[in-house]
Amino acid sequence: MVSTNSTTAFNNVFLFLLVISVVLLAAITFTMIYFVIKYNRKKNPTPVNIESHLLLEITWIVIPTALVLAMFYYGWIGFTSMRTVPPDAMTVKATGRMWSWQFEYENGIKSKELKVPLGKPVKLLITSLDVLHSLFIPVYRIKEDAVPGRETYLWFLPDKEGEYDLFCSEYCGVQHSSMISKVIVIGEDDFHAWYREAGRTETGAKEEGTLSGDKLLEDRGCLDCHSVDGTIEVGPSFKGLFGRKVVVTSGGKERELIADETYIKKSIIHPDADVVKGFDDIMPSQEENVTNEELDVIIEYLKELR
């Protein structure tokens, strides 16, 4: 028996456990108080040795066993519905990185928010570019680790229009708390209109070579740590970076160099080679995240950001 909507299955398990716990707590507490009064030492000065009581022993074996098996049964239903993805599900790749989420659709659209159509199951293929993250969507009661070098999955059925929180629930560094995004559930027609339009813009820009540097920086998560207005965040600001003198630590030695094209490209692919003085060596390599072509676009954009 696999429920089509795992959220309902999870809610049922939770409710079941809650009811059992409350009933047991009340029953045990009541019995305890009752016994304390009934078997008070003043009323029973001489202790009596109680011999076995068959019915009582059967009762305390049968009832807990039945309860535990029932818990397992409901848990199993929740688990199987969580792991069994409906065949008509729409697949979206979800990538965790320090410190944002990126969602990639089958037609190549990349988005920082998860836009989905109402009533269609969504399968998320989850991975990480750097450290362990965990994708958590409380409203659907689902959570799964994002593991570098491995693909995990989740699915859910968006059954109501609206915007819901989505965040990282595995502490992944200083900006962990900013890994918050949204699941946006919209009507199917609206979704398809957006999907087609965004897909066209995305592939169009690639073909025409009109990728914009600021959009790339935003999409690839660069702006999660680097500002373009001079504000110092986790990493140095991009403003005025190109052509500036920078002091870096390379293999333990401090040196000064000019932030030219070679240096910037190298720092994107091998961020640990020359770490800017005053900042920690925490940036993961973006080798898998950008193409050579995109690197050129980014460099051109940085040149303008003086």
Q: Which residues bind Cu ion (CB under 5 A)?
A: 133, 168, 172, 179
| Shorter beta-carbon distance to Cu ion: residue 181 or 267 | 181
Taking the complex as a whole, the smallest distance from the CB of residue 117 to Cu ion amounts, in Å, to 27
176: which 2 tokens? 């962990």
Taking the complex as a whole, the smallest distance from the CB of residue 180 to Cu ion amounts, in Å, to 10
- Look up tokens 């000064």; give the residue: 256
State the number of CA atoms in the 13 A half-sphere of 55 facing the CB: 0
| Shorter beta-carbon distance to Cu ion: residue 205 or 282 | 282
In sequence order, what are the residues at sequence separation of 6 or more whose Cβ sits closer than 8 angstroms to the Cβ of residue 263? 246, 257, 274
| Shorter beta-carbon distance to Cu ion: residue 123 or 133 | 133
Judged on CB neighbours under 10 Å (0-12, 13-18, 19+), 273 is middle
| Shorter beta-carbon distance to Cu ion: residue 113 or 159 | 113
Q: Measure the CA–CA gap between 94 and 100, rounded to whole angstroms.
A: 10
Taking the complex as a whole, the smallest distance from the CB of residue 102 to Cu ion amounts, in Å, to 12
Taking the complex as a whole, the smallest distance from the CB of residue 133 to Cu ion amounts, in Å, to 3
| Shorter beta-carbon distance to Cu ion: residue 124 or 179 | 179
Taking the complex as a whole, the smallest distance from the CB of residue 236 to Cu ion amounts, in Å, to 22
Nearest to 116 by CA among 92, 140, 86, 88: 92
Nearest to 123 by CA among 88, 89, 157: 89
| Shorter beta-carbon distance to Cu ion: residue 146 or 186 | 146
Taking the complex as a whole, the smallest distance from the CB of residue 96 to Cu ion amounts, in Å, to 5
Q: Please, what is the Cα angle at 272 between 271 and 277, to 5 degrees? A: 95
Q: Measure the CA–CA gap between 269 and 288, rounded to whole angstroms.
A: 9
